[in-house]
Amino acid sequence: MAEHYGTLADALAYHQERGNAAWASTGDDEAKQSALLRGSVWVDNTYRYRFSGKKTGGRSQEREWPRTDAEDAAGEEIAPNEVPTEIDEAAYEAALRELVQPGSLAPDFDGSKIVKSERKKIGQIEKEMEYAEATAKSSLPVFALIDGILAGLLAQASGTTSVCFVARV
């Protein structure tokens, strides 16, 4: 099987500690292994451009981690042979979603289905629909928990703004 982040045993321990019973009760080890692979691929595809450094093994390295010249958001160096715990935990969370509902991390996008507003009138039947201008990116799921787990590893996305408050004490 292809390489994924973490292990099945660690994924089970992670989910048990958090009371995520669905991990233990859904599927067999093969299904969990597949979900862990899909979760790992999703983490890489979603966050790769916000990870610092570069793959330690270059282009031949299957996953994005471990990385050389990587540091966390606080500027602390990450060893070139280390896969940070946050990466494993993000993969476990993503894998849980994939185990429970395969394909949920990467839904197909159909922009024609996004309705911005709809107006109905029953007397003398009238129906009006306005479709939103959508992009494939706007249809991607957002998982705040996974974003939070990885926040300490991510460089700020380009085009975003940081707000800082300074208080004089």
Nearest to 40 by CA among 83, 87, 8, 82: 87
Q: What are phi and psi of 91, to 5 degrees?
A: -65, -40
- The 8-class DSSP code of residue 120 comes to E
**Residue whose entry in the numeric block shows the structure tokens 């989910």:** 15
Burial of residue 27, with CB atoms counted within 10 A of its CB: 0-12 exposed, 13-18 middle, 19 or more buried: middle
**Residue whose entry in the numeric block shows the structure tokens 């570069």:** 54
Tell me the pLDDT tens digit for each residue of 64-116: 999 999 999 999 999 999 999 999 999 999 999 999 999 999 887 666 566 56
Prediction pTM value: 0.77
pLDDT of 163 reads: 45
Tell me the pLDDT tens digit for each residue of 107-157: 876 665 665 667 777 777 877 766 666 555 555 678 999 999 999 999 765
Nearest to 33 by CA among 61, 12, 16, 48: 12
Average pLDDT over residues 41-55: 96
Q: Where are the domains of the chain?
A: 1-105+141-169, 109-140
